[in-house]
Structure 1
C-alpha cells in the first residue's frame, strides 16, 4: 500500500464519524428565530435560546460542506435577521439575552467577530455602524507603550485564557490606519518574542495542551496581521510530544494542534503525519455521541462553554461568570461539532487531498423542512 492509499483509508475512517451528523445539526435549528441551539438539551428546555456562537458555528459547518448556496431564501433571511436583531444600536456590540455574556470580554469580542462574519457570509451587513471601537476603545490603545503595559497586566498562569485576552486586543490594531498601526505591531512582535519560551515555542503556563491552546489563540494575532509566527519548529516538536504523551479530554485539545499545524504549513514526514492522524481519530472517537454529534468534554457536554477550558487542578485567572447554554448532559454540542468538521477538513489539507462529500449533507435541508 502506498502512502496516499494509507492516508486515504485513515481519512475514510474520519468520514464515517459523520454518518448521522447532519440530522443532529438540522434538529438544532429554530425555524422561528433563524438561529441554532447549542445542544439537544437546549432545544427541550425553555431556559435556553438559540445563541450567537452556536448559530455562527452552524453556518460555518454549512459553508465547510458547500451547503450555503443551497440554503432556502427564507432560512437565509431569518438567519440574517437573527444576527441583526442581536446588535445594540448605541454601541454596535452584539449580545445574547444572557446578561452574564457582557461580563466576559472574550465572549463579547467573539460575538462581534461571529456576527459580522456571519452577516458578511450571508451577503448582508450589520444594521448599525460599527462605531464601538472608535468610541469605546480602551485607554491602552492610546500608545504602543500603554498597549504593552496592558499586556503585562494579563495573567498568563493559564496560557489558554491569557493568550485569548492578548489576541483579542488585536481588534483595535486592525481598526487603525496602516501607518498608525506600524509602531503598535513592532511593539507587539517584540513583546511576544520576549515572553515566548525558546525551548518549546509556547507561551504562558499550564499543561502542554493548555499551552498549545494558548499558542493556537495567539496564532490568530499573527494570522490577521500577516506576521510570521516565530519558532514554528519548536512549536511542532511540542505538538508532537503533547499528542504522544497527554490525554485529550476536550475537543479543543484535538482541534487546536491540528489548526496550528495547518496554519504553519510545515513539511511533516509521512510517518509522523500518519501518527498525528491516527491519534486524532482515536481522540475524536472518544467524543462522538449517540445523538450523532460531538461533545466538548469526555464526561459530558459543558453547559457553559465559556468556562469549559477550566480543568481539574488547573489555575484559571479571573474566571468569568458561566454563560449556560444547555443542561450539560452526555450529548453533542455545537462548539465541539463545528471543531470536528474543521479537524476533518484540515486533516485532508495536511494530506494534500480534497475532502470527500459526506453522505448526508445533500439531504440536510430536507431534514429541517
Structure 2
C-alpha cells in the first residue's frame, strides 16, 4: 500500500504548481501583512488582515521557508501584529469595525496574533484579555460559563461549535486551578449533546455537522481531552466522503484533520480511498492564479461566515466582514487548508514527511542572503 499511496500523493503535489508564487504575491511590504486574495490587493477597499497574515506565516513555517525571510521582514510581520492590538482591551482587531462585533473573529484573531508573535520570538505590547476583568462576562464564574454554553444555538453546527470553541483562548489564559471547573462544565455539556449514533454535534447537512465536530475537536485538543465516540465519527466521515459533494475547502480539510487527530487504526484500502477522494475534491478548487478557492464556484468574500443553505438565516449570524471581492480566485483561507491537507494525508498514511519542491525564486526578494 505504501507505494500506491506514495504515487497517489506525489500526483497530488502537482496541484501546488504556482501556489507559492501566488502566496508571494499576497505579501504587502508597507504593512508587513498578507492579503486574503488577489482581488483584496488590487482594491483600495481592503488591507492585509490578521487571519490571512497568520495563515501565510503558518504556510511558510509548515513548508520550511522561514530561512527565506530576512530579519527586517520578520520585524515587519511582528510590527503588523503588534499594531493590531488595542492597548486597553488587549484584543487584536482588523480595520473593519464590524469585526469587533463577531466574537468568533475576535477570539480567532487573539489566538492567531499571539501564536504568530510567539513563532517570531516576539510578544504582544499590552496585557492580554485573559484575566477575569478583561475576559467576556461568561468567564466570571463556572456557573456563568455553563449558562453561556447552553445559550449557544447549534441549529447550524459549524457556526455554533465555532462559537463554543471561541471560549478556549480565555480558558487557556487562566491558571490550571482556575480553569478546571470551567473545563469540567464544557466537557460535561459537550458529552451530553453529542449524537450517540453519528458521533457528531448540532444540526445541518452532514458536512456542516462534521465541520462543527472539527471545531469542537480543536477545543478537546487544546486541553488534551479525548474526543468521545470516535468509531461513530469515523463511520460518519466515510459516509460523507463517499456520498456527499464537497463544495467547500473546509469540507475537504475538516474530515482529514479529524481523522489524523483521532489516531485510529484505519484499514489500508480506506486510506487509499480517502486520499483519492480528497485530492479529487481539492483539484476542483484549484484556480488559474495558482491558489485555491474556499468554495467551488468562487472565493467567498467573507470567509468567516459559516455556510448555510440558500434562504436560511440564524439570529446569531454576524454581519459579514469582507476580506475580498469573492472572485474566482485563490484565497489564503483555502491555501492554508490545502497545505494542511497535503501534509495530513501523509501522516494519515504513515508516510515520512516530505517537503514540497518549491522553486528557489519564491520569496527570493525576502531572503536574508540577498542583502535586501
Q: Same fold (TM over 0.5)?
A: yes
Contact conserved, 2:131 with 2:174, CA < 8 A, in 1? no
Of 290, 298, 311, the residue aligned with 2:288 is: 290
Instruction: Calculate the aligned-residue CA RMSD, in Å.
Output: 1.5
- Which of 353, 356, 364 is residue 355 of structure 1 equivalent to? 353
Between the aligned partners of 1:172 and 1:25, the Cα distance in structure 2 is: 32
Aligned to 2:344: 346
Residue 134 of structure 1, CA deviation: 3.1
Q: State the Cα distance separating 1:326 from its structure 2 match.
A: 1.0
Corresponding residue number in structure 2 for 1:264: 262
Q: Find the aligned partners of 1:77 and 1:178 in 2 and give their Cα distance.
A: 33
Match of 1:254 in 2: 252
| Paired position in structure 2 for 1:226 | 224
Matched, 1:364 2:362: yes
1:325 aligned to 323, 326, 348, which one? Answer: 323
Q: Is the 8 A contact 1:232 1:264 kept in 2?
A: yes
- 8 Å contact from structure 1 (residues 93, 132) kept in 2: no
SS at match of 1:134: coil
- 1-side partners of 2:181 and 2:71: how far apart? 46
Q: TM-score, normalised by structure 1?
A: 0.96
CA contact (8 A) 1:21 1:292 kept: yes
- The 5-angstrom pairing of residues 151-166 of structure 1 reads 151-166=149-164
1:69 to 1:135, Cα distance in 2 relative to 1, 3 A: farther
Consecutive unaligned residues of structure 1, counting only runs of 5 or more, are none
Pairing 1:28–2:26 present:
yes
Give the structure 1 partner of residue 369 of structure 2: none
- Alignment check: 8 A CA contact 1:157 1:204 kept: yes
Matches within 5 A, 1:164-313: 164-312=162-310
Gaps of 5+ in 2: 367-371
Alpha-carbon distance in 1 for matches of 2:196, 2:129:
40
Does the 8 Å contact 1:19/1:358 carry over to 2?
Answer: no
Distance in 2, matches of 1:5 and 1:308, equals 38
TM-score, structure 2 length as denominator?
Answer: 0.95
Contact map agreement 1:20 1:360 (CA 8 A) in 2: no
User: Does structure 1 retain, via aligned residues, the 8 Å contact 2:207–2:251?
Assistant: yes
Aligned match for 2:135, one of 137, 140, 155: 137
Q: What is the aligned partner in structure 1 of residue 35 from structure 2?
A: 37
Aligned counterpart for 1:122 among listed residues 116, 120, 123: 120
Measured after TM superposition, the shift of residue 272 of structure 1 is 0.6
Residues 320 and 175 (structure 1), Cα distance of their counterparts in 2 relative to 1, 3 Å cut: same
Identify which of 2, 16, 28 aligns with 2:14. Answer: 16
- 2:130 touches 2:170 (CA, 8 Å); kept in 1? no
Q: Structure 2 CA distance, aligned partners of 1:242 and 1:24?
A: 31
Number of equivalent positions? 367
Query: What aligned pairs does 1:59-78 form with structure 2 within 5 A after superposition?
Result: 59-78=57-76
SS of aligned partner of 2:16: coil
Could you list the structure 1 runs, at least 4 aligned residues long, displaced by more than 4 angstroms after superposition: none
> Aligned-pair distance for 1:355?
3.3
- The answer to which of 160-169 and 316-325 deviates more is 316-325
User: What CA distance in whole angstroms lies between the structure 1 residues aligned with 2:312 and 2:197?
Assistant: 22
Give the drift of 1:141: 2.1
Q: Provide the rounded CA distance (Å) in 2 between the counterparts of 1:356 and 1:175.
A: 35
For 1:107-118, list aligned pairs within 5 A: 107-118=105-116
Partner of 1:57: 55
- Tell me which residue corresponds to 1:105: 103
Of stretches 158-167 and 124-133 in structure 1, the one that deviates more from structure 2 is 124-133
Shift of 1:307: 1.6
